[in-house]
Structure 1
């Protein structure tokens, strides 16, 4: 092995070893047959036999003629099917246009990197998704973070902003499960002439009359410049779309590098996206059942786990604060041994002292499963060595 290559191997090994010694080493782990209190499959669509059948039927009936896109959509990858699905998404999300990306990460990266330009200002909530952070880093705009959901801090920064101003937030935050004050943020953006960008990844399918997201539920679709909807969470398939004005769609086609230079999704994915949104329309009961299960979960927490600390979440993402990586790991391991797929979120992913169990409630979780999980947590918290 050449000396230079050996040096690289040594450096990487040392970094991994340090990560492991700090208790931060990540590993891929199959979930097995544990009861799911971990995934973002809020409505159970990813495991839906009905949706699977719809997609198979669509694959059979739609004559595409190829299994792969073979190129980006600006080259060989463009299909009439893609345009048809995007038009359906625009109707579903009550806006002018939609543009599909291969993932929510790609969409956020492309949107924030290309929209604000040099001389502009990009204001981001301090807890936005990593994909939005990475997109902001690629932008030539001046970026400032404001305190999480803090309207006063946001207004202070809006007053000082220069150029065209963009405000990027999530509607439902993935680590705390709390909800952004979107009405008030829209009011501030209107007052200061800023464009509001909302990541609806964890609201898609969960809020709105048939799962259109929190922006539609609040009637703000005309006041939000761009929304991101991902399809790998509650929608149960793959891909994402940015929805908004037709002008925005045309702009992204020309300037969003993750769209321009990525091989397009295969026809199967476009068909799956279409079928999943048909299911959202026809199975509103899944969304209603999800919120019923969430209400039951929160009732049991209040009744059985008094004195514990939880994030201020109104969403299916429920987080039990367990300060210290070891404490969070211990309780998560106890839950997994008892058959529940519950994961610990450790620092530095969250701030030191804010380590937690991130528990996702689903429409398919039974009341018995929820009761048994809460009972398990009662026991594990009593027996946790550092408590």
Structure 2
């Protein structure tokens, strides 16, 4: 076969798929852009799109430590992380994070996503029952799917439904988030632990949105509730409070030793580099001492919660994360544009991060937000609530409230999209 200079076209089945996505998700919108692409914030706008909860992205001590580590490091460790394991090679950061959280060992992964995939691929197989909260992070669902486990959904924070599933299917692994990333609710961890004991289950708690922000010195919600001895595994993204790209698995010695040898992301990805671990170590030291930052974060979250509730928004949040139901994609576009035109920037969540036909705008609060900024958010949200052209905002909040009052039918209806992937 003779090759020509004409660039090869993609196969027809791929272009048809892409064309359908463009038509269904982009061309139907007035501005013909993906719904997640909004305006660019200007100076003075209130940005609530980042999960940098303690406002560490521009911390001088962390940046200087990172720069110095890059200058000083002369090691070439561009290899699989599985080749670098062993007690004698454990980085200082892993030792310190394990000690803070009360676990034997810590294994750092390339991301929070990889941490969950690594762990679940290591501890599950086709004979394992896995019980997943409806709103658990997609990486937990995907980790169980990749492992070939038998996945059983239970309705969000509904312990009666979880127990019915446990009675029906038997011992297994329970997967929950400590704080749920879309709506900010907190898992009833004491009750989950009780059921794990009763039905001889292992328990995995994803602390991505509570590590650093909750508990003594930022040790997390499990530690805050005194449950460390009763939780088998903790995972976390370090791209939230730690303001970098990494993930962590907290476990016993045997798990920490074996998981990197069993899990594909660990085996087939390059390890975190030494200067990256040094940055995380510097960030750890800042977080442990950030008592005032944690107090400010809680005060800011409580203040915005009260403000949004006073307007009429149906807020389930118990944390620094607020999810506002906005209905379908067209209503979401109108509401997002109104907020951004008035200097308030949240993150649009749409499928696959939400069930089909459901959208929300998430506000993520950090310790650096000022009272003036929060008052501006409340004022703009009040204007949106009162705007006759955005009447759908009020309607969808009322609909969401009614749906959540009947959680069984609501979540079983929405779960169909997940079952297509994970059954």
After TM superposition, the score normalised by the length of structure 1 is 0.90
Unaligned runs of 5+ in 2: 1-6, 392-423
Secondary structure at the counterpart of residue 117 of structure 1: coil
Deviates more, 1:266-275 or 1:47-56: 47-56
Distance 1:202 1:215 in 2: 12
Gap change, CA 1:221 and 1:271, over 3 Å in 2: same
Q: 1:4 to 1:324 in 2, by over 3 A?
A: closer
Change (3 A) 1:29 1:57: farther
Are positions 1:378 and 2:378 aligned together? no
Change (3 A) 1:85 1:50: closer
Shift of 1:25: 3.1
Residue pairs, 1:32-51, within 5 angstroms: 32-33=41-42, 34-51=45-62
Alpha-carbon contact 1:239-1:269 (below 8 Å) kept: no
CA distance in 2, matches of 1:77, 1:26: 42
1:5 aligns with 2:11: yes
CA contact (8 A) 1:97 1:246 kept: yes
- 1:160-175 alignment, distance < 5 Å: 160-162=168-170, 165-175=172-182
CA contact (8 A) 2:35 2:329 kept: no
Superposition deviation, residue 323 in structure 1: 2.8
Aligned mates of 1:5, 1:356 — CA distance in 2: 35
Single out whichever of 314-323 and 367-376 deviates more from structure 2. Answer: 314-323
Q: 2:230 is paired with a residue of what secondary structure?
A: coil
2:192 is paired with a residue of what secondary structure? helix
Summarize the Cα distance change of 1:270–1:156 in structure 2 as closer, same or farther, 3 Å threshold. Answer: same
CA distance in 1, matches of 2:253, 2:375: 48
1:26 CA displacement: 5.7
Shift in alpha-carbon separation, 1:331–1:50, aligned structure 2, 3 A: farther
How many residues are matched? Answer: 380
Match of 1:119 in 2: 127
Query: Taking structure 1 as reference, are residues 2 and 90 closer, same or farther at Cα in structure 2, changes over 3 Å only?
Result: closer
**Alignment partner of 1:361 is 2:365:** yes
Q: Does 1:309 align with 2:314?
A: yes
Is 1:72 equivalent to 2:80 in the alignment? yes
Deviations 1:329-354 (A, max 9, x none): 22221221222222332356334675
Of 178, 189, 197, the residue aligned with 1:182 is 189
RMSD: 2.5
Counterpart in 2 of 1:17? 23
The answer as to whether partners of 1:124 and 1:168 remain within 8 angstroms in 2 is yes
Query: Which runs of structure 2 are paired with 1:1-387 in the superposition (5 Å)?
Result: 5=11, 8-23=14-29, 25=34, 31-33=40-42, 34-60=45-71, 63-66=72-75, 69-75=77-83, 82-162=90-170, 165-303=172-310, 305=311, 307-310=312-315, 312-346=316-350, 349-351=353-355, 354-387=358-391
State how far apart, in whole Å, the 1-side matches of 2:344 and 2:218 are: 27
TM-score, with normalisation over the residues of structure 2?
A: 0.83
How far the C-alpha of 1:324 sits from its partner, in A, is 3.0
Structure 2 CA distance for partners of 1:230 and 1:31, relative to 1, 3 Å? farther
Q: Secondary structure at the match of 1:364?
A: coil
| 1:165-196 Cα distance to aligned partner (Å, 9 max, x none) | 10011110001110000000001101111000
Higher helix share: 2
Unaligned runs of 5+ in 1: none
